[in-house]
Structure 1
Amino acid sequence: MFRITKEFHFSASHQLDHLPADHQCARLHGHNYRVVVELAADRLDKNGFVRDYHELKPLKTYIDDSFDHRHLNEVLSGPSTAENIARHFYDWCKARWPETSAVKVSETSKTWAEYRP
């Protein structure tokens, strides 16, 4: 199996207002997010790629236009947890690139959430 990944960045605020009021994530706060999309294939295409990295540019455009410097509670349906953000980007990528196999999202340098069916 061949696997490739590409990392994207954005900054955004969110609030997990379904949590108890004394939970730190219930307060309005922000993160510098990292999103890593993974694509996998049994075979390479005629150019020797799983997929040309350049073809992933629409994800950068989508992130820049819809997520960067936004309030995620207004962008996503459901809680704006890293887990739900990873699932959202997975679904978006899978609809465009069938080789999509996983998406990871980081809110901090020490934490990652991953969606992999």
Structure 2
Amino acid sequence: MYRITKEFHFSASHQLRALPLEHQCARLHGHNYIVEVELSAPELNEHGFVRDYQELAALKHYIDDSFDHRHLNEVLAHDQVTAECLAKHFYDWCKARLPETSAVRVSETTKTWAEYRP
């Protein structure tokens, strides 16, 4: 199986409102997010690619236009916008446009990652 990944960055705020008030993540806060999309294929296309990286530009535009410097609870109309939820959201968005999508990882900090992989 061939696999490629590409990384995207954005900054945004969120609040995990279902947590107890004393939990730090219940307060309004922000992160410098990293989204890593993985595409997989058993065979390469006629150009020797799983998919041309330039074809992932639509994801960059989607992230820049809809997520960067926004409040994620409003963007996704959800009280629990966790890294796990974001990974699933971006996976679904990518899979609908790029059938080779096999996983999406989201990082909120340099030491933490959440992944959605069916």
**Which residue does 2:67 correspond to in 1?**
67
1:13 aligns with 2:42: no
1:14-93 equivalences in 2 (<5 Å): 14-78=14-78, 79-93=80-94
Letter in 2 for 1:111: T
**Which residue does 1:103 correspond to in 2?**
104
Task: Report how far residue 76 of structure 1 moved.
Answer: 1.0
Task: Report how far residue 89 of structure 1 moved.
Answer: 0.1
Paired with 1:111 and 1:71, the residues of 2 have a C-alpha distance of: 20
- List runs of 5+ in structure 1 lacking aligned partners: none
Paired with 1:56 and 1:30, the residues of 2 have a C-alpha distance of: 25
Letter in 1 for 2:98: W
Identical amino acids, percent of aligned pairs: 77
**Which residue does 1:113 correspond to in 2?**
114
RMSD between aligned residues:
0.5
Paired with 1:110 and 1:80, the residues of 2 have a C-alpha distance of: 19
Number of residue pairs aligned between Structure 1 and Structure 2:
117
Paired with 1:55 and 1:82, the residues of 2 have a C-alpha distance of: 24
- List runs of 5+ in structure 2 lacking aligned partners: none
Paired with 2:77 and 2:91, the residues of 1 have a C-alpha distance of: 15
TM-score by length of 2: 0.98
Runs (4 or more) in structure 1 with deviation over 2 Å come to none
